[in-house]
Structure 1
Amino acid sequence: MADAELVTNEERLRRFEAITDPILSNLNVADLFEELLDRVRDLLKVDTATILLLDGHTGELVATAAKGLEEEVRRGFRIRVGVGFAGRVAATAAPVVIYDVTPADVVNPILLDAGVRALLGVPMLANGNLVGVLHVGSLSLRHFGADDVQLLQLVADRASSAGQVRAQVLARQAALALQRSLLPSRLPDILGLELAARYVPGHDLGIGGDWYDVFTLPSGWLGAVIGDVSGHGLPSAVVMGRIRSALRAYALDCHDPAEVLTSLDRKIHHFEAGTLTTALYALIAPDRTTVHLSCAGHLRPLLAVPGQPARLVDLVVDRPFGVGRPPADRHTTVLDLPPGATLVFYTDGLVERRGELIDTGIERLANAIQSGPTEALCDHIMAAAADERPTDDVALLAIRRAD
């Protein structure tokens, strides 16, 4: 069937039923792609069929499934939107037909080496957003007509939905894996201190830029940090991971929290330009009687001393990271930590509410802080102060000195 104009109504129906077959719904994404490519090759009598999915981080189309051009997938072929044949389909979000392929039409050497002479490509769209490109090719000259384009677009639409689901699943899996690797799975057992923490995501991916960390240093000091990288999802989590690792490295070389944050700011300014980040870094002395704190634009911690209401710690709040040139005069505050006292670190997702002053949320948090075991305290805080349906990540860290 060389010309789509010759397609009969009976053939159109066969094509439609082959692509809308309910059995396809039972396949996983990889198998669905393979089956769709097999069927479209048979229906259009073409030699090659390829799905390239868009990598949202790089802006490139990545060969994900192929029939007749399997080498594309094996080599991990990728191409930027707007470049070459597939890039042109993606950039225009419209079908593209090439009757006689020449080196000027394509930049993928695999297509030329395979001897592809004619190409038809259509965009894969989901809710108006580009998901990828589906293209088929023939080793002989042929015309692709309107019925061919319509059929291939139908296949692309079915693959687009699966491709979007696949991207969401992969992003969720990556985010959860990153969360497990970066947020402490278990807080350390520290003589003379009791620790507890909570992390609650405020969005679907399950992780963002909020983080906390607790670590011991060779000197016997205990480092505790809480921070917030602007944004949500996997990109913010990746930046957060790099910042967390850098802070740990600087902490090994310096026991002044202000100097550690100064070094971290220089790193962010150079390597993470455009990233707005806040952090609160504390060093607790080996005898647990004092805490040295430095704050980079983060919310001040709360201190609860037995027999007294919880209060905000009086410290200097320096500029966040990534704002202007790194300041050379960050400050360190030394705070007494009496027996039984509890320090509470938190991110803004715990105290911010739409249409409400943040001071109101901080006061609500302060009223929720009670003396006693930190695990029970964190449970009480989350029940009394956290939003039932958070729209922002919540990180909470409580450190109590033993009585």
Structure 2
Amino acid sequence: MREPGIDYQAVFEASPSAMLVLDPAFVIVDANTAYQRLVGRTRDQLVGRHVFEAYPDNPYDLDGAGRGGMEASLRRVLETRAADITGPLRYDVEEPGRPGAFAERYWSPINAPVLDGDGSVAMIVHRLAEITDVVRSGSPQTEYRCLQMEAELYTRSRELQQVNERLREANAREREVALALQEAMLPAPPSLVRHHAAVRYRPAVHALNVCGDWYDVTQLPSGDYSVAVGDVVGHGLAAACVMGQLRSALSGAIRVVDGPAPALDGLDLYARSLDGALATTAVQTVVAWAEHRITYSSAGHPPPALADPDGTVRFLDRATDPPLGATPDHIPRPQATTTYADGATLVLYTDGLIERRGEDIDRGLRRLAAHLAEHRALLPEDLAEALLLLSAATDDTAVVVLRL
């Protein structure tokens, strides 16, 4: 990725390493100043020429290994799309101004690919280091090994980049699955006969778009409303799968049992047989709107908030037991009942709305009560948005608002 404000042509020119840029046909595209100085040729003498036309073989070099070794290295780059090093390599250079006069010289080149968006080789960067003096001194191996290690490091960095690209592709596919799960398991609430419900869901920052939080709003066969929220430990697809099973189980149970506590009893027994479900928290409420009565039971979950029209906020905390599966043996759960006035607002939520790291939960509850009292007159959809502003970015949050 190019950073704004960086002149890469100037960087290329200023590099102390001698470098050529070749196209896949080995035609010279550019040569930096260090390269021109090293080989004694100007850019005009190089750019646009095939590299082996610019550097013909020395007819007096009977081995002729220079061009062969260089061409083999360049072709390996095209085939493998990875850096390649050759050397020590004798490649005599025709002396400037003296046609047919070749100077014996030794090099250790590194050829590295520049890939396009499709992963094909768009260009080859040819970095050249002269080791003539080292070879003549009889100890070329140290220089050669240093350059070889540099090429190996470059290759490893390319491999790491390719791994990261595959990880990004896998994450993108997982996100698509997450979005499908979210849509299937956390739908918009159905239309209720006399009241309006609004829901909001926000995954933690850096999490997928699904997690372990859930909500459920249902009109029961009796005409009463069932409103529930829950929170499975963990994030990602594994927690989402457990969440989906528990949500469905509780939604089914509340339809066939008499009240929130028996529904959570059944969910507790089910959670003990489901991997990843232990320590889940949940709260189940049933709103009997004709009698203006709310019956509720909680399995270790933060208490629902009930805001009266006059701004008084009560927390429904008189029927709270440990999370699902937290006790050695199953114990029947308690339930409690309260009444409400017309125009009251019931809010169920998960702990991401109130908890902060290093802060007592009571402070979060007070913050919620004050925010709810201040904004209680808003329509449910707007109130849900206002409440979501309290949520911590580091935790998942689900909110249900029901205007009574």
Q: TM-score under structure 1 normalisation?
A: 0.62
Residue 368 of structure 1, CA deviation: 0.6
Equivalent in 361, 382, 388 of residue 358 of structure 1: 361
- Distance, in Å, in 1 between the alignment partners of 2:251 and 2:333 is 18
Residue of structure 2 equivalent to 1:195 = 197
Amino acid in structure 1 at the alignment position of 2:77: F
Equivalent in 372, 392, 397 of residue 395 of structure 2: 392
**CA-to-partner distance for each residue in 1:314-373, whole Å, 9 max, x for gaps?**
422111013233532201111212211111111111111122212111111100113322
Residue 172 of structure 1, CA deviation: 1.0
Alpha-carbon distance change, 361 to 273 in structure 1, aligned in 2, over 3 angstroms? closer
- Distance, in Å, in 1 between the alignment partners of 2:178 and 2:291 is 35
- Distance, in Å, in 2 between the alignment partners of 1:167 and 1:177 is 16
- Distance, in Å, in 1 between the alignment partners of 2:161 and 2:191 is 52
Alpha-carbon distance change, 287 to 272 in structure 1, aligned in 2, over 3 angstroms? farther
Alpha-carbon distance change, 363 to 161 in structure 1, aligned in 2, over 3 angstroms? same
| Residue 342 in structure 1 maps to residue 345 in structure 2 | yes
The alignment partner of 2:222 has SS state of: coil
In the alignment, is the contact (CA less than 8 A) between 2:296 and 2:319 conserved in 1? no
Residue of structure 2 equivalent to 1:333 = 336
Give the count of matched residue pairs.
Answer: 273
- Distance, in Å, in 2 between the alignment partners of 1:253 and 1:8 is 81
- Distance, in Å, in 2 between the alignment partners of 1:268 and 1:324 is 12
In the alignment, is the contact (CA less than 8 A) between 2:232 and 2:277 conserved in 1? no
Identical counterparts, % of pairs: 35
- Distance, in Å, in 2 between the alignment partners of 1:307 and 1:238 is 41
> 1:242-391, aligned counterparts within 5 Å?
242-272=245-275, 275-285=278-288, 287=290, 289-369=292-372, 370-372=375-377, 373-383=379-389, 385-387=390-392, 390-391=393-394
- Distance, in Å, in 1 between the alignment partners of 2:219 and 2:278 is 28
**CA-to-partner distance for each residue in 1:169-226, whole Å, 9 max, x for gaps?**
1111111111111112x22221222211211111331221111111122222211110
Amino acid in structure 2 at the alignment position of 1:16: V
- Distance, in Å, in 2 between the alignment partners of 1:236 and 1:224 is 21
Gaps of 5+ in 1: 1-6, 37-148
Alpha-carbon distance change, 197 to 154 in structure 1, aligned in 2, over 3 angstroms? closer
Alpha-carbon distance change, 335 to 272 in structure 1, aligned in 2, over 3 angstroms? farther
**CA-to-partner distance for each residue in 1:92-129, whole Å, 9 max, x for gaps?**
xxxxxxxxxxxxxxxxxxxxxxxxxxxxxxxxxxxxxx
- Distance, in Å, in 2 between the alignment partners of 1:156 and 1:325 is 50
> 1:98-177, aligned counterparts within 5 Å?
157=160, 159-177=162-180
Residue of structure 2 equivalent to 1:15 = 76
- Distance, in Å, in 2 between the alignment partners of 1:327 and 1:269 is 9
- Distance, in Å, in 2 between the alignment partners of 1:269 and 1:386 is 30
In the alignment, is the contact (CA less than 8 A) between 1:224 and 1:282 conserved in 2? yes
Amino acid in structure 2 at the alignment position of 1:187: P
Amino acid in structure 2 at the alignment position of 1:199: Y
In the alignment, is the contact (CA less than 8 A) between 1:196 and 1:374 conserved in 2? yes
**CA-to-partner distance for each residue in 1:283-332, whole Å, 9 max, x for gaps?**
11252611111100000011111114212124221110132335322011
Q: TM-score under structure 2 normalisation?
A: 0.62
Alpha-carbon distance change, 255 to 262 in structure 1, aligned in 2, over 3 angstroms? same
Amino acid in structure 2 at the alignment position of 1:379: E
In the alignment, is the contact (CA less than 8 A) between 1:289 and 1:338 conserved in 2? yes
Gaps of 5+ in 2: 1-67, 83-112, 122-151
- Distance, in Å, in 1 between the alignment partners of 2:311 and 2:256 is 37
The alignment partner of 2:197 has SS state of: strand
The alignment partner of 2:273 has SS state of: helix
Amino acid in structure 2 at the alignment position of 1:284: V
Amino acid in structure 2 at the alignment position of 1:291: I
Residue 256 of structure 1, CA deviation: 1.7
The alignment partner of 2:272 has SS state of: helix
C-alpha RMSD over aligned residues: 2.7
Amino acid in structure 1 at the alignment position of 2:199: A
Residue of structure 1 equivalent to 2:21 = none
Alpha-carbon distance change, 285 to 274 in structure 1, aligned in 2, over 3 angstroms? closer
In the alignment, is the contact (CA less than 8 A) between 2:242 and 2:277 conserved in 1? no
- Distance, in Å, in 2 between the alignment partners of 1:14 and 1:255 is 77
Higher-Rg structure is: 2
- Distance, in Å, in 2 between the alignment partners of 1:371 and 1:305 is 9
In the alignment, is the contact (CA less than 8 A) between 1:269 and 1:326 conserved in 2? no
- Distance, in Å, in 2 between the alignment partners of 1:298 and 1:338 is 25
- Distance, in Å, in 2 between the alignment partners of 1:262 and 1:327 is 8
The alignment partner of 1:365 has SS state of: helix
- Distance, in Å, in 2 between the alignment partners of 1:10 and 1:154 is 24
